[in-house]
Amino acid sequence: MTPHENLKTMGTWPVFLTAISTILGAILFLRFGYAVAHIGLVSTLMIVFVGHLVTVPTALAVAEIATNQKVEGGGAYFMISRSFGLNIGGAIGLALYLSQAISVAFYVIAFTVACRDVLHWADVVHGVAIDPMWVNLGVMALLTMLMVGKGANLGVKALYIVVVLLFLALVLFFLGSGPGNPNLSPLATIPDVLTTASGETVKRFSFFEVFTFIFPAFTGIAAGLGLSGDLKDPRSSIPKGTIWATVVGIVIYIAVAIKLWWSAPLEALAADELYMENIALWGPIIPIGLAAAAMSSALGSVMVAPRTLQAIAADQIFPAGMSAWLKKGRGSQNEPVRASLATCAIAFVFVLMGDINAVAEIISMFFMVTYGAICLVSFLEHMAADPSYRPTFRSHWSISLMGAVLCIVLMFGMNPTYATASLIIMVLIHAWVSRLGSGQRGMVRLFRGVIFQVQRFLQLALQMSDDDLEESRGWRPFVLAISPDTFDRQEGFDMVRWVAYRHGFGTYMHFIKGFLSQETQAEAQKAHAQLVKRARGNRSRVHLDTIISPSYTSAIAQCIQLPGISGKGNNLFLMEYAPDQPANRDQLMDNFGLLAASGLDLALLRSSGRKFGNKHDIHLWITPEDSVNSSLMILLAYILQGHPDWSDASISVFFLHDGENAEEEEALRASIVEGRLPIAEQNIEHVTHHSSSVQTIKNKSGGADLVILGFQSSDIETMGEDAFERFNGLGEVMFVHGMKPLAIQ
C-alpha cells in the first residue's frame, strides 16, 4: 500500500457532485435556448435523446468495468489502459486528457459570459471598460493558483456551494413565466437568416452544428471518473455517482428545453444566449448560476485532467525524464502539482481563442473518441467471455456496441474534417506510444478472447449444419495427416498445408510411440513447439498437434474418431512415406480396413527426394478402374494449384486405356470442361498402351513434379507393397482412393 492510499476519503457524493455540476453546467444555460430557437423543440429533445444514447451506454460500461477491477488514479484512462493495454490506452488517454484540459478553457470562457452584466455595469456606471479576454486570463490564473496551492480538497468543498447555487437557479427559472412563445409548434424554428432588434444577423444552425455545441454538456460523466484515485471505494462510488448524475441530468435537460420553448419567443432565444434570466423569477440568479456552473465545471476539469496526466506519466507513456517529472506528486495525497501546471498551460492557450463554439467542437471530438473506446472495451469484454471478467454490475453487449458505433457516426456527422483529423491524431499518438513495445497484454488478451468466441460459434454452426446441404454445395477438404517422421521429411506436412490453404482445414498430428507419462508429455510439448516454429515460416494454415499412443494403429483409430478443427469430421486421411522408410506405407496397408470403415478418402504420398521439383507440372493418370477415384484426383490437383507455391503449375490429365474409349471417360472429360477447372483442352490426352501401363506412365511423367494416381483395395490385396513401389523412378507420387464419386461441375 502506498503512503497516500490510506488517506483516500472521498465517497459517492463527490462523484455525483462533480458529474452533475458539469452536466448542469454552462451549456445548459448558454446553448439550450439556442437549440430550441435554431432547430425547434422536437430536434432539441432528439439531441438530448441521441446524446444520451452515447452517454448512457458509456455510463453503464464505466460502471461495469469499474466493478470488475481495482480502479486507481486516472479514472477512464486507467480503465481503458488496463483493458486495452498501454499502447491503445495511452493513445486514448492522451486524447481524454487533452479534452479535459481544453474543457477548463471552455468553462472559463463561459464564466466570462456570465459576467457580462457586471462588465456592462462597470462600463456604464464607472466608465471602466474591461476586455472579456482579461477576465478569461484572470480567472484562469486564479484557478491555477488554487489548484497548485490547495489541490482537490478545495475543489470538492467548492462543489457543495456550486451545486446549491445551480439548483437554486433552476428552481427560480422554473418558477418564472417569461413573455411566452406565440408559436407553440414543437417543430417551429427561426428563419434561415434572422435580423435581431439590434440589427445583428443570426444564421440558423443545422442539427449537427447544434449537437456539436451541446454535446460537451453530456460529458459530465467523465468528470466523476477522474476522482478514482481519491475515492475510498471506487468500485461502488463510480457506478452509483455516475448513473445517478446521468439520470438526474436527463430529467432536467428535458424540463429546461420544454420550459424555454413555452416561455419565450424563438427570436429572443436566438438573439440572447442568456435569455433565461428574462424568464426566471429573479433574473440575476441565472448569471450567478451560470458563473457557479462554469466555475464548478472548470474546477472539476482542472481537478480531473492533472490526475489523468499523472496516471499516464506513471505508466511511462512519455519519455523517461518527462514521465518522471509529471508523475511526481506533493504530500501524503500525492497531489499532482506538476501535472496541474501543465494542464493550466494548455488551458491558457485555448482561453486565448475566446470562441466558445470553436472550443466546444474540439472538446466534442476528443470526448467522442474516449466514450467510443469505453463502450468498445465493454463490448469486447462481453464477446471475449473471459472467466476473469466478473463485474458485479453488468450492462448488455448490444448497448455497448450501440454506444461505440454511434460515437463514430456522430463524429462524422458533426464535422467530417475534425473527425478524420481526430482519428489520424489518435493513430499517430498510438504509433508514438507503441515505441515502448510493451503494455500489449490487455489488448492481446481481449482480442484473443473475441477470436476464440467467434471461432467457437462458427465451429458449432458448422457442426450443426445440414450435411446433405453441405454436400450439395460441393466437396472441400478436411484433411488429417499422422506421421512419426515429421522432422525427417517436410513433404507430408507441405501437402497438408497446400491442400488446406484456401478451400478447407488441415490437421497434422505428430505421432510419438509410447504410453502417456511425464517423459513422453515433455517430448510431445517439445515436438509441438518445433512444429509451430516450422509452420510460422511456411504460411501454414494447419492445426498442429501431437498424439502419444502405444501403436500406430491405436493412434490412427483415435485420430480418425476426433472431430476436425472446423467443427465437422475429417474427410481425407493422408500418410507420407519414403521408399527407404516404408513404415507409414505399411501402416496404411495394414489399417486399410479400419480407414475404409471410417468413410475417409485416402491419400498416400510417396516422397522421392526431389521435394516436388519446381512445382510446375501436375500429371493425373486416370484408368478405367478409377471411376470413383477420378473426381477426387481432379479436385485435389485443382486445390493444389490454388496455393501460391503451385500457382504457376499446369495440370495435365491422361486417360489411360487399352484401345477402347469408355463412355465414363468421355463423361469425365466433359465434366472437366464444364466444371470450369483450369485444365486446358490440349492438356487432356488419351493414351493407349498395348503392353505395360506402368512403363507408359513412367515414360510420360518421369519429369513431372507431382503425379496423382488412383488405387483400389484390390490392388493392395493382389499386389501388396508393389501396388505402390512399381512406380519407382517417378518423382513425388500421390496415390488416391475415393470412397464415392464427387461432383466437380
Residue 159: pLDDT over 90 = no
First to last CA, the chain: 71
Rg value, the chain, Cα: 37
Do 287 and 274 touch, CB atoms closer than 8 A?
Answer: yes
Half-sphere exposure of 506 (CA within 13 A, CB side): 23
Which of 354, 355, 362, 367 is CA-nearest to residue 415? 362
User: At 659, is the pLDDT very low, low, confident or very high (cuts 50, 70, 90)?
Assistant: low
C-alpha cell at position 684:
487432356
> Cα separation of 490 and 495, whole Å?
9
pLDDT of residue 254: 93
Which range, of 299-303, 309-313, 615-619, averages the lowest pLDDT? 299-303
366 has pLDDT over 70: yes
Mean pLDDT, residues 259-266 taken together: 93
Torsion of CA 280, 281, 287, 292, to 10 degrees: -100
- Once rounded to an integer, what is the mean pLDDT over residues 588-614? 91
CB 187 within 8 A of CB 40: yes
Range 192-214 average pLDDT = 84
601 or 306, higher pLDDT: 601
77/252: higher pLDDT: 252
What's the half-sphere exposure (Cβ side, CA atoms, 13 Å) at 529? 6
User: Does residue 14 have a pLDDT over 90?
Assistant: no
Residues 6+ apart with CB under 8 A from 425: 95
Q: Residue 193's pLDDT is what?
A: 86
| Res 231: pLDDT | 67
For the stretch 697-711, pLDDT in tens is: 999 999 999 999 999
User: pLDDT band at residue 1, thresholds of 50, 70 and 90?
Assistant: very low
Strongest mean pLDDT among 111-120, 414-423, 519-528: 519-528
Q: Give the least confident one: 27-41, 459-473, 583-597.
A: 459-473
Cα separation, 573 vs 151, in Å, equals 72
- Predicted confidence at residue 476, as pLDDT, reads 83
User: Quick one: cell of 475?
Assistant: 466437396
Q: 550: how many CB neighbours lie within 10 A of its CB?
A: 11
Least confident of 47-61, 480-494, 674-688: 674-688
- Predicted confidence at residue 472, as pLDDT, reads 45
What share of the chain has pLDDT > 70, as a percent? 81
Cross-strand bridge partners of residue 543: 507
Tell me the torsion sign for CA atoms 623, 629, 635, 637: negative
* Nearest CA among 468, 730, 483, 705 for reference residue 583: 483
Q: What is the mean pLDDT of residues 348-369?
A: 81
- Give me the numbers of helices (H) and strands (E) for the chain, helices first please: 30, 12
| Cell numbers linked to 271 | 438573439
Scanning the structure block, which residue is given the C-alpha cell 482579461?
Answer: 134
pLDDT at position 576: 95
Please determine, for residue 333, whether its predicted confidence score (pLDDT) is greater than 50: yes
Closest-CA residue to 108 (of 140, 144, 142, 155): 140
Least confident of 174-178, 424-428, 618-622: 424-428
pLDDT, greater one: 550 or 27: 550
Q: What's the rounded Cα separation, in Å, for the pair 411 and 367?
A: 10
| pTM of the shown model | 0.66
Q: Is the pLDDT of residue 651 over 50?
A: yes
Question: What's 298-353 look like in SS3?
Answer: HHHHHHHHHHHHHHHHHCCCCCHHHHHHHHCCECCCCECHHHHHHHHHHHHHHHCC
From the number of C-beta atoms within 10 Å of its C-beta (0-12, 13-18, 19+), residue 683 rates as middle
Indicate whether 76 pLDDT > 70. Answer: no
Residue with the bigger pLDDT between 152 and 380: it is: 380
Helices 32-66 and 356-384 pack at an angle, to 10 degrees, of 30
Query: Sign of dihedral through CA atoms 520, 522, 527, 531?
Result: positive
Query: What pLDDT was estimated at residue 73?
Result: 57
Asked if residue 643 has pLDDT above 70, the reply is yes
Cell 454511434 -> residue: 406
- The pLDDT of residue 224 is 60
C-alpha closest to that of 20 among 293, 357, 403, 303: 293
Q: So what's the pLDDT on residue 358? A: 79
Average pLDDT of the chain? 81
Residue 617's pLDDT band (cuts 50, 70, 90):
very high
Taking the C-alpha atoms of residue 133 and residue 112, their distance in angstroms, rounded to an integer, is: 8
